[in-house]
Amino acid sequence: MDSGKVKFFLGEVLRNFTRNAGMQATAIGTVAMTIVLLGAFIFVHQTLAGLGNDLLNQIEISVYFNGNVTTAQEDALRLALAHDARIADVQFVPKKEGLAELSAQTHGVIDTSLLTDNPLPDKLRVRVRDPQLVPAVADELRTHAGVGNVVFPQTIVARLLAVGGVLRRIGIGVIGLFLVVAGIIISNTIRLTVFARRREISIMQLVGATNMYIRAPFICEGLLDGVFGSLIAVIILVTARYALWPKLMLALPWMQFNGTTVDGPLLVAQLIAAGGAIGVVASWISVGRHLRT
């Protein structure tokens, strides 16, 4: 590798980047603002999604056996569920234990000691890994021999799944919109720098520089705009996360926010990668337009 070539190339990138400092500052600032909004949106979105998933993960399917069920049938179903990859957890609750639970849950309002006979059947308490599969698994369980009734909070699951679906679609749409906006901003800034350097570009073309060679410094410039902008955004977001999160927890004590649902380092990496990628794509497009004309 010719170190002189690398030095020249990096020198050109640095010279161009610092020569248009005002323009670069504008680009970096606007990218930072867009990425802050994008990051904040993703954070809130993931937190809400995490909240919904937490609720869904707590949902249990209660499988009540009928009166004629045999112990062998109960064991067979329990074993089958234990080996089913879709099932996170299965627990056998004998009717005696079920009665004790009922008594505990009703805080003694129902006095089970007055009962001469236990009216409750044996049951299985089942948790499914993917909350979306709850209705399907429940339907399947109803067909098993010895199963009398299968109960789960159907309305809540349906609503949570519907809300989750809407949130996901809105999330994808808004994230896409943010990325496009950031792309347009960087693209316009690069177009301004391309315009400012049109004389230099025309000389490069005149002496036989390839389009790739002409493009490369602008691509690096776009990459730097994107990465610096997203780094600033990440600093703002991380500061805000640690400054505002405890206050939010205090303000909304009834909300069971789980801060760990957002993978912080992953989100930071994603935002920086997104910023860099937008910078590269936007500058590629804007230089390409200039080179075609």
Partner 1 sequence: MISLRNVSLVYQNGVRALDNVTLEIGKGDFVFLVGHSGTGKSSLLRLLYHEQLPSNGEITVDGIRVDRLRRSRVPALRRHLGVVFQDFKLLSDKTVWENVAFAMQVTGAHTKDVMRQVPRSLDLVGLAHKSRMYPGELSGGEQQRTAIARALVNNPKILLCDEPTGNLDPSNTTEIMDLLLRINLKGTTVLVASHNQAVVDRMRRRVVRLEDGRIVTDEERGYYYLGLGQGQILSG
Give residues 9-38 in contact with partner 1 (rule: CB under 8 A). 19
Q: How far is the CB of 216 from partner 1 (least distance, A)?
A: 10
Chain center to CA of 59: 21
Give the bridge partners for 147, in sequence order: 65
Other beta carbons within 10 angstroms of residue 36's beta carbon come to: 20
Q: Is 8 in the site for partner 1 (CB under 8 A)?
A: yes
Q: Is 204 in the site for partner 1 (CB under 8 A)?
A: yes
Q: Which stretch binds partner 1 (CB under 8 A): 104-112, 141-149, 198-206, 266-274?
A: 198-206
Q: Is 195 in the site for partner 1 (CB under 8 A)?
A: no
Instruction: Give 63 or 214: the residue with its C-beta nearer to partner 1.
Output: 214
DSSP symbols for 186-238: HHHHHHHHHHHTHHHHHHHHHTT--HHHHHHHHHHHHHHHHHHHHHHHHHHHH
Instruction: Give 247 or 292: the residue with its C-beta nearer to partner 1.
Output: 292
Rounded to whole angstroms, the Cα distance separating 238 from 161 reads: 30
Could you tell me the two tokens for 76?
Answer: 């067979």
Instruction: Give 58 or 211: the residue with its C-beta nearer to partner 1.
Output: 211
Q: How far is the CB of 19 from partner 1 (least distance, A)?
A: 8
Q: Which stretch binds partner 1 (CB under 8 A): 51-59, 68-76, 91-99, 196-204?
A: 196-204
Q: Are 89 and 78 in contact (CB under 8 A)?
A: no
Other beta carbons within 10 angstroms of residue 277's beta carbon come to: 18
Q: What is the dihedral of CA 136, 142, 144, 149, to 10 degrees?
A: 140
Phi-psi region of 146 (alpha: psi -120 to 50; beta: other; left: phi over 0): left
Give residues 211-230 in contact with partner 1 (rule: CB under 8 A). 211, 213-214
Q: Is 2 in the site for partner 1 (CB under 8 A)?
A: yes
Angle at the Cα of 157 from the Cα atoms of 154 and 160, rounded to 5 degrees: 145
Q: Is 5 in the site for partner 1 (CB under 8 A)?
A: yes
Instruction: Give 4 or 67: the residue with its C-beta nearer to partner 1.
Output: 4
Q: How far is the CB of 192 from partner 1 (least distance, A)?
A: 18
Could you tell me the two tokens for 262?
Answer: 């957002």
Binding mask 136-175 for partner 1 (x = CB under 8 A): ----------------------------------------
Q: How far is the CB of 26 from partner 1 (least distance, A)?
A: 21
Q: Is 162 exposed, middle or buried (0-12, 13-18, 19+ CB in 10 A)?
A: exposed
Q: Is 236 in the site for partner 1 (CB under 8 A)?
A: no
Residue whose tokens read 């159907």: 154
Instruction: Give 149 or 202: the residue with its C-beta nearer to partner 1.
Output: 202
Strand order in the sheet with 61-65: 87-93, 123-128, 61-65, 147-151
Q: Is 205 in the site for partner 1 (CB under 8 A)?
A: yes
DSSP-H helix ranges across 59-126? 71-82, 95-105
Q: Which stretch binds partner 1 (CB under 8 A): 3-11, 61-69, 71-79, 83-91?
A: 3-11
Instruction: Give 3 or 71: the residue with its C-beta nearer to partner 1.
Output: 3
Q: Which residues bind partner 1 (CB under 8 A)?
A: 2-5, 8, 19, 199-200, 202-211, 213-214
